[in-house]
Chain A
């Protein structure tokens, strides 16, 4: 058992208190530590991804308690990829906030940011359902702080809505976990999976209730259609760099759906049969449609990107709910693309907001208008799913995976039309903000004489251009990435390796002599791994 596996959780958990307690009055040191932590996280997660790439499942037993009794962290291909994605995103966002000075517009930004990363990493790595709840709470409570960072009436009001919505979600999560525990008597995901398979028929009804409540919780997190109301107001009123980090939060919900409903409640379990086809898929399609309509109808650039994020979640959950290895591979390919794209667009929207009011309407030309409009153009192409960037490939993969499904015509129609509508919305916004402004300048003339001084430093452009270059690299590397995604999807649907590895030590003796013999057990477990 290597300790590298827990490093993505421990590192931010150590850096955050250090920043609060020792570095409270040292702005530069805070920034240095925060960026260093993100760089280190990226290196660690690269190493973890390299370890997981050959298909081995690693288990980290906290406190050396074996799996069904203690909490485990599990690293497989899917969690490794998500951890890598999170750390790369975190690095880009922290560079942007330092560059734009957002981190100094309120207290404790960097500490909250590190706690947020810790929660997200933990949610991706944990193999225990209740621990998943705890990490959700960690990432949520940090996100409450980040959401209202900088203050302002609108932001506080949006913050209240966001917190209340998520607290309801947390209560529902506890209800769901309680129900599942009452039926199965365990909270370890792998163990639940085994128990669910051999449950008597009399218990399937209550288990189904638990599974549906759990699905609702993850649907709230991922902003699935009837439960998406919190997202536009929250993201548009949060500091936009923070919204860029939040781009991964909806994906936490999507990840949890993918993980729980392949590992525990797979479609062949009678308790949850038909859940995906009859509920999740139509809801996901409507989410994609509403997101696209929202993009077209938005009047502010923040809301525009927020609805774009909803549309991408819709596409992602469509792929997940088709529930075949091909569609899961498409979803895994698409999740990286959509997270990076949404984050890049949020950061670009913030660049616009720093220079203008943020309304999608012609306004005096902003500083560095040419460069920002070029960045917006590239990111919009990626968001709408146009070639040559990876959004096109991702959507193509989803469409291809849907080919044999009964609802295939619906999937094709909704995804294609919503892509077109998104494209129209983004084109309209780009035209209004970047092109018509020049017309305004020539007509009015005097306003343009005072273009605002450039508020952003070079670091903000480094962050955004870095994200866009990463997207381009991702597109070029689609072959290897797709092989990785297909292997991941195969792992998800053939869960035996996961179950065996996690529960390998379940028969190791426990009892009163556990403490005395723990050094010996350490040796044993090192030999077995």
Chain B
């Protein structure tokens, strides 16, 4: 399982970074989403990988438990990245609709932008 989780984080992050380096906004946003998925799985792993254990301490029996804090962190991170993705999609859409171009680089559209 360690290998699976580790390679999932690695592949998601690598694909995310590759897409972020693209020139058009849509792949960049996809890349950001993949990167946040990678982060979320990584955060899960920070509490050590345990399966089938409850996320609570038991003071009567010394059983293994899953660390609940990373789960709370992941929940926060998911909510935030969801909201952020929505914001960036809207801004990118506005930029595309007003410039008629979804190049993330600004220099090519300077003239068009000056008129608008």
Contact with A along B72-108 (1 / 0, CB 8 A): 0100110011011001100110110011000010100
Q: With A144-B87, A153-B109, A160-B95 known to touch, is A181 a contact of B69 (CB < 8 Å)?
A: yes
Cα-based distance from A134 to B25 in the complex (angstroms)? 26
Contact between chains at B106 and A170 (CB < 8 Å)? no
B35 neighbours in A (Cβ, 8 Å): 168, 171
> Cβ of B6 < 8 Å from any Cβ of A?
no
Cα-based distance from A160 to B27 in the complex (angstroms)? 13
Interface of A is mostly: helix
Cα-based distance from A164 to B35 in the complex (angstroms)? 12
Cα-based distance from A420 to B29 in the complex (angstroms)? 42
Q: With A164-B28, A174-B43, A181-B69 known to touch, is A141 a contact of B87 (CB < 8 Å)?
A: yes
Q: With A163-B87, A168-B20 known to touch, is A178 a contact of B109 (CB < 8 Å)?
A: no
Partner of A153, one of B36, B80, B99: B99
Partner of B116, one of A130, A144, A153, A177: A153
Contact between chains at A181 and B46 (CB < 8 Å)? yes
Closest to B44 in A: A178
> Cβ of B113 < 8 Å from any Cβ of A?
yes
Among residues 117 to 143 in chain A, which have CB atoms less than 8 Å away from a CB atom of chain B? 130, 134, 137, 141
Q: A134-B76, A153-B109, A178-B73 are in contact. List 11 more A-B contacts (CB 8 A).
A: A130-B76, A137-B84, A151-B94, A152-B113, A157-B104, A159-B94, A163-B84, A167-B36, A167-B84, A168-B20, A181-B70
Q: How many contacts A-B (CB < 8 Å)?
A: 108
Interface of B is mostly: helix
Cα-based distance from A160 to B24 in the complex (angstroms)? 11
Among residues 342 to 369 in chain A, which have CB atoms less than 8 Å away from a CB atom of chain B? none
Cα-based distance from A455 to B35 in the complex (angstroms)? 46
Among residues 150 to 196 in chain A, which have CB atoms less than 8 Å away from a CB atom of chain B? 151-154, 156-161, 163-164, 167-168, 170-171, 174-175, 177-179, 181-182, 187
Number of interface residues of B (CB under 8 A): 39
Contact between chains at B104 and A160 (CB < 8 Å)? yes
> Cβ of A233 < 8 Å from any Cβ of B?
yes
Cα-based distance from A159 to B104 in the complex (angstroms)? 10
A-B contact pairs, 28 of them (CB 8 A): A130-B73, A134-B76, A144-B87, A144-B88, A144-B91, A151-B98, A153-B98, A153-B116, A156-B94, A156-B99, A157-B95, A157-B113, A160-B88, A161-B104, A163-B87, A163-B88, A164-B28, A164-B29, A167-B36, A168-B35, A170-B84, A171-B32, A175-B42, A178-B39, A178-B42, A178-B45, A181-B69, A233-B106
Q: Closest CB-CB distance, B72 to chain A, in whole Å?
A: 9
Cα-based distance from A397 to B43 in the complex (angstroms)? 42
B98 neighbours in A (Cβ, 8 Å): 151-153, 156
